[in-house]
């Protein structure tokens, strides 16, 4: 029987990009007793709001997706806000969950927690063998503190919490705001804006040599739900697709799929971020049967087509 059977589930961040897919996945599997706290009602940085959330929603299980997050630029501009917001939400959600007596806490971490020069593919056992890449270290370290807390609480209190490390996500419904978006939606929007404005070039940060791994958001939701249903150990688990692609190769694909005909100019004064990123995903498969399904090029085309359809209504421009 699934661990979630007949459980009341809180999904923090459940109205966000990933959260909507997780909630939909839960409902499709028959778990209907789901509560999604709204930020206007509960600011999860504040202890009193978290206490009230637990009292009013009476959960058995918490899937903590809420995060303060963005791309390299917004990370560089907001290291303090990203550190404090993510740390306080995670630490207090778990502590108050323990005090309230919830049955299980699913903490969502990030590939940004890995050391800057971790050996590729990143294995969970390498998580502490160095400092994260500087531009997103405050965010990555704040999220990683949930792993420390999770393991300490299991040891001392027998508290059932797990920690999942996610790679960069993409897919329909992503954040396409150029001031805060991650690389895939940022590049898609750059290309379409250039087409719309009849511009002959786009400018891309860095050298293009850095590599990244991307996971389709529906696959990520499936991995989280599988872990919530059947994984109950202290050790962290990578959730990813198990491949890497250079930023240059990524740009080439997006240029091709969007139909942009101009030049790509590399702004090498801007940072590349972490040199390489790719997860070893064998533990997720072995422990709870997760394996990413979506082929990357297919997911990229689906995301681009979604953006083309929705751009006008979402005020992202007037793509023809």
Question: Going by DSSP bridges, is the β-strand pair 263-267/34-35 parallel, antiparallel, or unpaired?
Answer: unpaired
- As separate numbers, helices (DSSP H) first and strands (DSSP E) second, the chain gives 10, 12
**How far is C-alpha 302 from the chain's CA centre?**
19
| 175, 182 contact by CB (below 8 A) | yes
Total number of residues shown for the chain: 320
The string of DSSP letters for 121-155 reads: SBPGGGTTSSPBPGGGHHHHHHHHHHHHHHHHHHH
Determine which one of 31, 42, 54, 139 is catalytic: 139
| 44, 96 contact by CB (below 8 A) | no
> Burial of 151 by CB count in 10 Å (0-12 exposed, 13-18 middle, 19+ buried)?
middle
Question: Going by DSSP bridges, is the β-strand pair 245-246/211-212 parallel, antiparallel, or unpaired?
Answer: antiparallel
Classify 241 as helix, strand or coil.
coil
Q: Specify whether 216 is catalytic.
A: no
> Burial of 208 by CB count in 10 Å (0-12 exposed, 13-18 middle, 19+ buried)?
middle
Distance CA 162, CA 224 (A): 10
Q: Which residues contact 180 (CB under 8 A, 6 or more apart)?
A: 70, 71, 74
* Alpha-carbon radius of gyration of the chain: 19
Distance CA 239, CA 220 (A): 7
Give catalytic residues, as residue numbers.
139
């Amino acid at each position: 029987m699934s661990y979630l059977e007949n459980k009341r589930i809180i999904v923090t961040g459940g109205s966000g990009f990933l959260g909507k897919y997780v909630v939909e996945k839960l409902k499709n599997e028959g778990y209907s007793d789901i509560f999604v706290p709204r930020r206007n009602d509960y600011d999860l940085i504040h202890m009193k709001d978290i206490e009230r959330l637990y009292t009013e929603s009476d959960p058995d299980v918490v899937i903590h997706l809420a995060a303060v997050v963005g791309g390299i630029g917004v990370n560089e501009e907001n290291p303090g806000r990203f550190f404090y917001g993510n740390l306080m939400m995670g630490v207090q959600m778990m502590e108050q969950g323990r005090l309230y007596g919830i049955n299980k806490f699913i903490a969502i971490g990030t590939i940004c927690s890995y050391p800057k020069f971790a050996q590729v593919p990143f294995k969970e056992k390498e998580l502490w063998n160095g400092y994260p890449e500087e531009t997103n270290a405050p965010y990555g370290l704040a999220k990683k503190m949930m792993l420390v807390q999770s393991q300490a609480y299991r040891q001392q209190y027998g508290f059932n919490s797990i920690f999942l490390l996610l790679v960069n996500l993409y897919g329909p419904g992503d954040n396409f705001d150029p001031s805060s978006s991650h690389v895939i939606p940022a590049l898609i929007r750059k290309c379409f804006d250039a087409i719309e404005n009849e511009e002959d070039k786009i400018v891309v940060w860095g050298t293009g040599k850095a590599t990244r791994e991307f996971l389709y958001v529906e696959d990520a939701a499936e991995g989280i739900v599988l872990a919530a249903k059947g994984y109950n150990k202290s050790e962290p688990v990578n959730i990813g697709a198990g491949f890497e692609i250079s930023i240059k190769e990524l740009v080439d694909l997006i240029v091709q799929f969007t139909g942009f005909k101009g030049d790509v100019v590399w702004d090498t004064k801007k940072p590349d971020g972490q040199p390489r990123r790719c997860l070893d995903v064998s533990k997720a498969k072995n422990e709870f049967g997760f394996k990413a399904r979506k082929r990357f090029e297919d997911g990229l085309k689906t995301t681009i087509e979604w953006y083309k359809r929705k751009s006008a209504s979402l005020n992202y421009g007037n793509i023809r």
